[in-house]
Structure 1
């Protein structure tokens, strides 16, 4: 199998499964057989969170120890690649041991290149999560799991003028809270998409994309709906020190319940990177879309923009700075959240197999709803090790 296929198609599968690991260190894999490798890693962190429930009043703070082992089993064939990854993220709250929890993440990905014109990427995952950030301190933490399976089929040679992508994904969201808490949020989501690309330059392609997403709620059936979206845009690779994709269009959300008005609006997704120097990269990501509702809202009109900067000061020392502004307009209820998040990080590559990181994160929610605003500061230090 060509290395080019491994780093493009399989990387896309990992991204779809939301489990991509961005290695700062260079982990050493254990060779188990011909084309079969095993890669373990371990991250241990200590952080101080001054408002780990993200509430406006009666804030709770704690030192939190995080332990995250990750195990990846990968196999390669001549025209195929497979990857199975499991990680467990344990958080120990030293001021509130009732909130101690372990999140589990299991993902599987496979990529196939049948010939020059036909490629397929498959992905599946199961994630079990507990979140302490809760707007109701009298309720227990949100405990939920998501399971998904999907795929992306591509027709057209990589150098061809035209290409077609056909994608599908099915996801289940289930809560494990007691007394049916959050049961109204449980749903099944089926998403279909198709994208046509037309090459106008060696590294630049125009695109047209159509999407259809169906939301089927388990008990709260009044929110059953389907979203239809149409976008157009451009994608380019390593052109004038930039790489990116711009998609702009519109979407409409139709509810099965006639008592809820249909929603529509503009839709965009933009992701771009600019590297004025090989050791310095700026990233811009912005998105506007209709998301599923919460806190009584039929849906949420979300718009967010993130600007980040990564800079390598020395061979082993790098920094990350990011700022995110998000505006969430709750539909059919009187609530508008404006969320600001600032992140600062410094990573020192002490050894090939060991990274040391320190970080700070500040978040603020200015909400028009009563008792929904908050401020939160998180200070952290982490050690990430591999073989």
Structure 2
């Protein structure tokens, strides 16, 4: 009965949007009209019907459920002289038919301003706010069988970056700074102040042009993390030094390879520092204009949500997007994550596969099929699980 109500709500939403778009067309209002005023307004809506065979992310006593995802979005972008701005909003609501406790509503708001005072100086400022959640048995509720609902939190980030040097200059300097914080809702049954933090990240990158499409780079960064309610026990200072190259060859392939050294020190003298090799690799390859491959590999030290001090995270991923014809496209992605918990015997291995097939029925309407499989194994056996999610998707862009 609940699913029927949700379907009726979806149908009414689609009809409302269709009628709205018809009125807009009839009155000859369009994105081209708004662009004459210096900005574009792009609203969109995605509605997905899915089946999740393990909504509690557990190894035993798994529970399956159908769900509906409703994801409205609004993008405003524009340019005035040398100033470019973007305002993005995305919402996501999930409604579960078998267990309403798993329902959630997430919001994301991002604003970005880019200013080029002249060809030598470029400044970018951005702000992002997320009201989101940890799914059951993930994040702060991991391994806690008493938690039956998502754990709510918000986080926000302010970032400032500057580039000195022309695009064609042989050398360019790129200083940057960002502030990030995260706070969990104290009403969460799994709440712990040890997961709340403030984070300050600052760094400097130096590019040196050595060929038609090749640059050498040096990147230095430092991240300071201050945790709430831990009497400075988890506070840390993470330093990174990278060297490497990045390139762009005839639009066919772009990439960056950074290899270096990372060290994390803790304010608590009883906690041992950790030092590891680190790398960050990203390659984008276009063998054809209608086919794109992305390959990524990273190894970094991340802060643990609870429990141990830090995690050595080794992540690898590959994705392929292909347009079979003007209105039919597909995407395939695979990711592997290996997490080694420092000063602990725990080690986790996670794999994820995503498959998507999309059919563009109209320029403003697309339908699709989706499949996602997640698997996690851990030396702490009760934390492992497998799940599959099947979906019918729809997307409307106005």
Residues 1:191 and 2:201 are matched in the alignment: yes
3-state SS of the aligned residue for 2:325?
A: coil
Structure 2 equivalent of residue 207 of structure 1 = 217
**CA deviation map 1:148-205 (0-9, x unaligned):** 1111100000000011111110011000042671321100000001100001112211
Residues 1:77 and 2:80 are matched in the alignment: yes
Query: Within 5 A, what are the aligned runs for 1:264-343?
Result: 264-343=275-354
- How many Å apart are 1:80 and its aligned residue? 0.6
The answer on whether the counterparts of 2:194 and 2:306 sit within 8 Å (CA) in structure 1 is no
Distance verdict in 2 for CA 1:189–1:151, change over 3 Å: same
Structure 2 equivalent of residue 162 of structure 1 = 171
Q: Aligned match of 1:228 in 224, 231, 239?
A: 239
Residues 1:137 and 2:145 are matched in the alignment: yes
Q: Which runs of 5+ in 1 are unaligned?
A: 1-26
Q: Aligned match of 1:385 in 356, 372, 396?
A: 396
Q: Which has the higher contact order (CA 8 A, sep 6+)?
A: 1
Aligned partners of 1:240 and 1:111: how far apart in 2?
24
The answer on whether the counterparts of 1:30 and 1:38 sit within 8 Å (CA) in structure 2 is no
**CA deviation map 1:300-327 (0-9, x unaligned):** 1000100111111111111111111110
TM (normalized to structure 2)? 0.87
**CA deviation map 1:311-351 (0-9, x unaligned):** 11111111111111110001122210011111111111211
Distance verdict in 2 for CA 1:30–1:108, change over 3 Å: farther
More helix by share: 2
The answer on whether the counterparts of 1:340 and 1:364 sit within 8 Å (CA) in structure 2 is yes
The answer on whether the counterparts of 1:172 and 1:189 sit within 8 Å (CA) in structure 2 is yes
The answer on whether the counterparts of 2:296 and 2:318 sit within 8 Å (CA) in structure 1 is yes
Distance verdict in 2 for CA 1:30–1:378, change over 3 Å: farther
Structure 1 runs (4+) greater than 6 angstroms displaced: none
Structure 2 equivalent of residue 359 of structure 1 = 370
The answer on whether the counterparts of 2:35 and 2:78 sit within 8 Å (CA) in structure 1 is no
Distance verdict in 2 for CA 1:180–1:312, change over 3 Å: closer
Aligned partners of 2:192 and 2:34: how far apart in 1?
44
Aligned partners of 1:183 and 1:380: how far apart in 2?
36
The answer on whether the counterparts of 1:192 and 1:213 sit within 8 Å (CA) in structure 2 is yes
Aligned partners of 2:249 and 2:153: how far apart in 1?
40
The answer on whether the counterparts of 1:142 and 1:177 sit within 8 Å (CA) in structure 2 is no
The answer on whether the counterparts of 2:195 and 2:306 sit within 8 Å (CA) in structure 1 is no
**CA deviation map 1:272-316 (0-9, x unaligned):** 012222222211011100001134111010001001111111111
- How many Å apart are 1:30 and its aligned residue? 6.2
The answer on whether the counterparts of 1:296 and 1:333 sit within 8 Å (CA) in structure 2 is no
- How many Å apart are 1:133 and its aligned residue? 3.3
Aligned partners of 1:131 and 1:46: how far apart in 2?
21
TM (normalized to structure 1)? 0.90
Work out the number of aligned pairs and report it.
Answer: 361
What is the RMSD of the two structures over their aligned residues, measured on CA atoms?
1.6
